[in-house]
Structure 1
Amino acid sequence: MKLLKSLFRFYINSSIHVALAVVALSVLTLLDYKISLNLDLLSFVFFGTVTGYNFVKYAPVAKLHHRSLTNQLKQIQFFSFLCFIGLGVSVFFMTYEVLYICCVLGILILFYAIPIYKKNLRETALLKVFIIAVIWTSVSFVLPFIQENNFKVYQNQMWWIACVERFTWVVLLMIPFEIRDLRFDKAHIKTLVSVFGVLNVKIISILVLVAWSAYKVVNSNYQNLVFYLIVYLTLGLFILMSKKVQKPYFASFWVEALPIFWVMIWYLVYL
């Protein structure tokens, strides 16, 4: 039992779970637009997500406490190094355009983690959730088209609407984390929840989900409508259930598992 708990903690803390969530969103893009499942791209997304997240989470800790790291942190460090090697290998299978975009995203992640004038982007008022949403949307929705050299989609108004929708998904996925972190964030960090309050953010989130649901009712066929209503329903339920004091893995496991669950639902609805 202890071994299973230890493996589960490693699975969460090493960012494997969140990486699979980003991969799942990328898979949804490929499925939705009938693009062949590109394992090179999905590997690149997985390794890049683990590397980026663990850099943001653990680089400051490793720098300050490099001589007293716990065994698990050392294991995560080693795992991150392996993923970085995997990322380096997968780079050779990506198009130059994908790499250009990822360089920009990498700089954004760097400034998100490292202070500029004593403050990083993570601590800049209201920016945190939107930076994460930009990165997740770029990786899971934009990169699949760039890798396929499909630049015509940028002339399609419906594609841009879908891009905004994906951005909205990610912002709303972050709400349970924003609510959870309210107790732990430094006083000067202004997040959506700390500025507008938990109740108001929940109300706004539900209204946004209702608006997207109404849009899908008008613009989708039956299968699309069923799938997207399930997405919005599950997302709304988890936002409503979010509290300041949460069970240990409510956000870090269950909320982040939603994109994986959505891929399963897609196959049930469409196949």
Structure 2
Amino acid sequence: MFFGNIFISGCAFCQFWTTCLLWELPLPLALGLFVFLATFLLYNFDRLLPYKLAQQAAFSNRRAWAEQHKAVIISLMVLAGVGALYLFFKVILFRYNILLLAHLGVLAVLYSLPVLPIRGQLWPLRHIPLLKIFLIAYVWTCVTVWLPLLAYNQPIFSAEAWLFFLRRFLFILPITIIFDIRDVERDRATGTITLPGTIGINKAKFIAWSSLGLFSLLVGLTPPETHRAALWLSAVITGYVVWQTDATKNEYFFSVIADGMMVLQFLLIWLL
């Protein structure tokens, strides 16, 4: 469930649903299911790329699990791909902003595939210095904020929508920094320039806390007033997880606890 990227796909669905709750919109289930399936497909696509499996510096229980269950993962990816395509052509194609979906799809693929000619080599977007965490946070924010708003013809370029977009980005960014801290040794070995590898883990944590502080400030300054306590509590707990983060933590700390902050925020909003 965790190593197979089912849980992270559920995190995407929960953040998608969180937007609906905060905007008091019904859950567009077909679109939410599309988000779940597309997340599952793209995360496993990234994991099974040959050049990533061959990186010995990145080898871990997660990688070993992926190697041992490659046939199962590929079978599930095929099913997810078929389901995502069905939902795209039957439900989404003529109802939502295709340009938005297209640019997100391109970014998601270029993030993993080494096709960009840079310095005489082919690079994926993830290897461009310091870009990785901001790109991940941007794509996640677009998917979980703009798609549910577009489902109900909400003006995504209004001031309210942009502030909400910024809030979500500021919440997701610290979680991406947690994973950069996890990967700091691997990224050094592969020559990837990242935030913790450049300025150090403690300063990277400070940026994560600053992001959560700005998120909390925007929660207090922007409507709606409902669910503010839940959002603030999610920021405090995420800040504590950032504090506890180091590269020696086991896989479940990152795959369950760190990613789980997105599910926790959803549950707090749903329950409080």
State the TM-score bracket (shorter-chain normalisation): 0.7 to 0.9
In 1, Cα distance between equivalents of 2:133 and 2:126: 9
Shift of 1:221: 6.7
The match for 1:93 is 91
In 2, Cα distance between equivalents of 1:217 and 1:62: 42
Matched letter for residue 21 of structure 1: C
- Contact kept, 8 Å, 2:40 with 2:80, in 1: the verdict is yes
> Deviations along 1:56-115, whole A, 9 cap, x unmatched?
111336998xxxx94411100101111001101111111433433222111112211111
Matched letter for residue 85 of structure 1: V
**TM-score with structure 1 length normalisation?**
0.86
In 2, Cα distance between equivalents of 1:252 and 1:45: 19
Asked if 1:59 is matched to 2:49, the reply is: yes
Structure 1 stretches lacking a partner, 5+ long: 1-10
1:82 to 51, 69, 79: 79
In 1, Cα distance between equivalents of 2:221 and 2:153: 31
Structure 2 stretches lacking a partner, 5+ long: 55-65
The match for 2:39 is 49
The match for 2:253 is 250
The match for 2:61 is none
Matched letter for residue 169 of structure 2: F
Shift of 1:55: 1.2
Deviates more, 1:141-150 or 1:24-33: 141-150
- Contact kept, 8 Å, 1:56 with 1:109, in 2: the verdict is no
1:73 to 70, 77, 87: 70
1:20 to 10, 16, 25: 10
Q: Provide the secondary structure at the position in 2 that maps to 1:125.
A: coil
> Deviations along 1:130-159, whole A, 9 cap, x unmatched?
111111111100111122222x342x3122
Shift of 1:187: 4.7
Shift of 1:243: 0.6
Q: Provide the secondary structure at the position in 2 that maps to 1:256.
A: helix
Number of paired residues?
A: 253
Q: Percent identity?
A: 23
The match for 2:62 is none
- Contact kept, 8 Å, 1:98 with 1:147, in 2: the verdict is no
In 2, Cα distance between equivalents of 1:53 and 1:94: 21
In 2, Cα distance between equivalents of 1:219 and 1:104: 29
> Deviations along 1:241-263, whole A, 9 cap, x unmatched?
10121122101111111111222
**TM-score with structure 2 length normalisation?**
0.86
1:129 to 130, 133, 145: 133
- Contact kept, 8 Å, 2:181 with 2:196, in 1: the verdict is yes
Deviates more, 1:185-194 or 1:39-48: 185-194
The match for 1:191 is 194
The match for 2:208 is 205
- Contact kept, 8 Å, 1:94 with 1:147, in 2: the verdict is no
- Contact kept, 8 Å, 1:125 with 1:190, in 2: the verdict is yes
